[in-house]
Structure 1
């Protein structure tokens, strides 16, 4: 059995794509997922299954959300090692006096090329900063996530990928939760 973390994009945000977590849990259990656990209302769902392939797990979740709730919701499935990599590879964690409230991670649907940072055209989003590491983009906002051009839509348009973003507090909490499944 494998535990996967599915990050759902754009649910329960500003009254759009509303899904109660208890209803989501029931829907996913009904299609065979076990140990379904959610964290906050923004679409962080742990599932345990015999399926090893993260892309297939994501497809099954996406399909069930559409069937049960009528919402077309992008899903990015990540492994525990992806969250662990966030802790070791995030270059901004080395900075002195870092305000972690301005630190985010965009999880991307596929591995990016090492030169993909050029495609983001960072000069257009300064003073915000970003660093690409495989299928993660570490973001440090100068002011905050609500006042930037460097958002999910911008990243998806520039890199032609699906992405979902989580703040640093959520990333660390999700890793702690992953540890509970071991």
Structure 2
């Protein structure tokens, strides 16, 4: 049995309402075990003996249960931890955000991403993620998920550092 972390993008905003209790029940009906959600923004920890096709199964399950498709990413716990451990070790944790990337990105767009960073912001491209330090607030940065997707030609979903580390803890790692 392997542990996975799923990140669902864009739910409980813009009309895509998803109750976490209903999502847990639907995923348990797939045979997934120890399904747990964290807050209402699409964070799921679960265990499964399956390893292939989990994203497609989860998306189909969500379509069947809630009537719409979503962008999502599922990580083997070890891969998720490897990604978040790449974060630079400075600054106040509350100002860090991580955008998990899905697919091959267009490297030529990276300079444009960096060119719009605010005077107090720092941005780092690591394997599978972009780490953004924004002490003036995520709400005012120009380096948000939609901008990253447009410039790098890759899907992504962003979480603040508290959520990113809490998911690791809920999966049983400190």
**Under a length normalisation based on structure 2, what TM-score does the superposition of the two structures give?**
0.88
Shift of 1:117: 6.9
Q: Deviations over 1:55-82 (max 9, x none)?
A: x111111111112101221011122223
- SS in structure 1 at match of 2:7: strand
Contact preservation (8 Å) 1:120, 1:159 = no
The answer to whether residue 60 in structure 2 is matched with residue 68 in structure 1 is no
Alignment partners' CA distance in 2, 1:63 and 1:162: 18
Match of 1:153 in 2: 146
**Under a length normalisation based on structure 1, what TM-score does the superposition of the two structures give?**
0.85
Alignment partners' CA distance in 1, 2:27 and 2:48: 11
- Counterparts of 1:37-52 in structure 2, within 5 Å, are 37-52=36-51
- SS in structure 1 at match of 2:85: helix
- Pick from 63, 79, 83: which aligns with 1:82? 79
The answer to whether residue 157 in structure 2 is matched with residue 164 in structure 1 is yes
Match of 1:5 in 2: 5
Alignment partners' CA distance in 1, 2:30 and 2:110: 41
- Pick from 112, 120, 126: which aligns with 2:118? 126
Contact preservation (8 Å) 1:119, 1:159 = no
Q: Deviations over 1:34-75 (max 9, x none)?
A: 21111111111112112123xx11111111111210122101
Shift of 1:86: 4.5
Contact preservation (8 Å) 1:112, 1:135 = no
Q: Deviations over 1:114-162 (max 9, x none)?
A: x567354311233332111111111111411111111010011111111
Unmatched 5+ stretches in structure 2: none
Alignment partners' CA distance in 2, 1:44 and 1:83: 13
Q: 1:26 to 1:116 in 2, by over 3 A?
A: farther
Alignment partners' CA distance in 2, 1:140 and 1:117: 19
RMSD: 2.0
Name the structure where helix makes up a greater proportion of residues: 1
Shift of 1:17: 0.9
